[in-house]
Structure formats: structure tokens, C-alpha cells
Chains A and B, each alone.
Chain A
């Protein structure tokens, strides 16, 4: 993967001013727009198009906290392979299992109040995990070695975030179902 931070010319860190990054994406997209290359040689047009695609993809990566974190992990030279990923803490998995069971119960009963409460609970956990993840990814460590260690320590938080996201995707799907079912 290309370095999305370099593509958009922003500092490689987790805590980013997303509005500034979006602005940067917009400016670059404008300069690379095909209309500006209408009279240019074919090779140049192709290059601009390729670069425009890269710029769009970089913005999609950076705006998503999970993908942004994964890009930083990759930049730190840590490979993220499923088999190599640290095993989730059993207590955490148990909690996710219980939350998922409760969620399916809530969906069955069409209990909107409980659904909102569950979603709120998981969103709060997500916020906390994002905070911990950001602090570790942006710590800089005492030196390069310390920074790499902090990236390793950030991995469990990144894994937790995926379980939370999966849960919240499920919440959205249930909300949609409930809305469709309205008379």
C-alpha cells in the first residue's frame, strides 16, 4: 500500500485535524481533475488519473480511524497478519459474546430503548479504545525502539475496535429494520 499520509502530504500521526486533511484532499483533487488535462498528452492524462485515484483512496484510509491506525502500524514496520495478531483476552471475548447475545434479544423484542442504551454503551467503549490507541500510536516513545514498542501495545486496542465496529454495524442494521417496520 502507498503511504496515505505522504500521498496527502500530512504528518503521519493518529491525531489529525480531519478538516484540514479533507481540505488538502479537495485541493489535490481539484488540481488533478481530468478537465485540467483535457488538452494534455495521453501519458500525462493517465498519470493524473492514477494520482487522483491514489489521493481519493488515501483520504478514505485517513478518515477511518481503524484504517488510519492500520496505516500507521504498517509504516512502523509491524505486519498485521491474522495468524500473528495477539489473541483477544478471554474476558473481553466473553463480554462481546454477551453483548451480541443481548443485541439479538433486543432485535427480537424490537426494544428501541434498550437498543439505544446498548449502542451508547459500546460507543463509549469505542471512544475509550480510540483514545488509548491514539495515545500509544502518537507517543513517539523515548526513541525509535520505544515508539515501535508502543505500536505493538496499541494492537490489542485496534483489535477491540473491530469488535466494537462490528457490533455497531449490527446496531445500524437493526435500526434500519425497525425503521422500515414503522407503520
Chain B
């Protein structure tokens, strides 16, 4: 048999399809594409107190790409951001028993996770910079003395 039951289940009934507000500072959005086939994947996480409380995806691509991103969102929920970062494409490929020609779909899902985390982190550090600006201004004259 070419495709595993888990893969078919995620393809037929994908979990967590949809969108989160990408302007929300607690939301990280990852947007990736596969140049070889022209597929695009968007994966978003919403982080509260360091825990991923929600994850959504939208994938325009083949069944394996849809199943990979669906599984990824399932795995992300409830994890810390650091834990989420340890998800590897090989874990997704193994869980779904992806055929070799479809391994790149799991790579795309891993890239999407990494890109969503990077977006979330850059939003957080931008916020911290903003919040610490008055302090920094106060510190400047002293540093100049």
C-alpha cells in the first residue's frame, strides 16, 4: 500500500485548518513555499506564557503536504516554543510513513514551524526593545559622562 492510514486520515480530515490574526503580538506566522512543485504552506502559532496554546495551518499542495502540516499543528499545541523547535521533518515523515518522493513535504512543514517561531520571536524582541526604550534613554547621559 502506498499511503499510510495516518496520512490518509490527516488528508481527509485535516486538523486545525484556518488562520490566526497575524497582527497579534502573540501569534507567529510562518509562510513557506516549495519551488519544485509550487505549493505554499502557512503555519501559525499562538503563544501564551511560553506555551503554544493554538496552531493553525493552510496548505495549498499535495496530500502529503496537507497531512504533514496538519500533523505539525497537532504536535505543536501544548508545547513550549523551545520544545516546538525540536520537531524534525524526519519525525513527521516517520509518523506519516511518507514515501521517499514525498519527504520534501515534511521538510516544508519543518521549515514552516521554524519560520513561525522566528516570526514570533522577532515580534517579542521588537516589543521588548520598545518597552525598554525609556530606560535606555535614561541610561545614555550617564554613559556619556
User: How many chain A residues have a CB neighbour from B under 8 Å?
Assistant: 19
Q: Report how far A133 CA is from B10 CA in the complex, Å.
A: 38
A82-B34, A162-B35 are contacts. A100–B40 as well, Cβ < 8 Å? yes
Residue contact B38 to A165, C-beta cutoff 8 Å: yes
A159 to B58, CA, bound (A): 21
A44 CB, min distance to chain B CBs, angstroms: 37
Q: Is the CB of A85 within 8 A of B35?
A: yes
Proximity string of chain B (33-47) to chain A, C-beta cutoff 8 Å, 1 when within and 0 when not: 111111110100000
* Residue A40 CB within 8 A of the other chain: no
Q: Is the CB of A97 within 8 A of B38?
A: no
Determine if A93 and B32 form an interchain contact, defined as CB atoms under 8 angstroms apart: yes
CB-based contact B32/A82 at 8 Å: no
Give chain A nearest CB distance to B26 CB in angstroms. Answer: 20
Q: B35 and A166: CB pair below 8 A?
A: no
Q: Which residues of A lie under 8 Å from residue B31 when comparing CB positions?
A: 90, 93-94, 97
Question: Within 8 Å of chain A (Cβ to Cβ): is B104?
Answer: yes
Asked if B104 and A97 sit within 8 Å, CB to CB, the answer is no
Tell me which residues across on chain B come within 8 A of A167, comparing CB atoms: 38
B39 surroundings in chain A (CB, below 8 A): 166
Main secondary structure of the interface of A (DSSP, over half): helix
Complex CA–CA separation, A45 to B38 (angstroms): 41
CB pair B38–A162 under 8 Å, yes or no, is: yes
Q: Check A96–B40 contact: CB distance below 8 A.
A: yes
Does B38 lie within 8 Å of A93, measured CB to CB? no
Does the CB pair A96–B33 fall under 8 Å? yes
The chain A residue sitting closest to B60, CB to CB, is A100
Nearest CB in chain A: distance from B5 CB, A: 26
Interface centre among B34, B35, B36, B39 (most CB of A within 10 A): B35
Judge whether B58 and A162 touch: CB under 8 Å.
no
Asked if B40 contacts A93 (CB within 8 A), the reply is yes
Q: How far is the CB of B44 from chain A (nearest CB, A)?
A: 12
How many angstroms between the C-alpha atoms of A163 and B39 in the bound complex? 7
Q: Known contacts A82-B104, A93-B40, A163-B40; is A101 also within 8 Å of B35 by CB? A: no
CB proximity to B under 8 Å, residues A59-108 = 82, 85, 88, 90, 93-94, 96-97, 100-101, 104
Q: Are B42 and A159 in contact, with the CB atoms below 8 A?
A: no
Q: How many angstroms from the CA of A85 to the CA of B36 in the assembled complex?
A: 9
**Measured between alpha carbons, how far is A96 from B58 in the docked complex, in Å?**
12
Are A93 and B33 in contact (CB-based, < 8 A)? yes
Q: Please report the C-alpha to C-alpha distance between residue A82 and residue B32 in the assembled complex, in whole angstroms.
A: 13
Closest 6 CB pairs of A and B: A166-B38, A159-B35, A100-B60, A162-B38, A163-B38, A85-B35
Binding site for A on B (CB under 8 A): 31-40, 42, 58, 60, 104
Q: Residues on A close to B: CB < 8 A?
A: 82, 85, 88, 90, 93-94, 96-97, 100-101, 104, 159, 162-167, 170
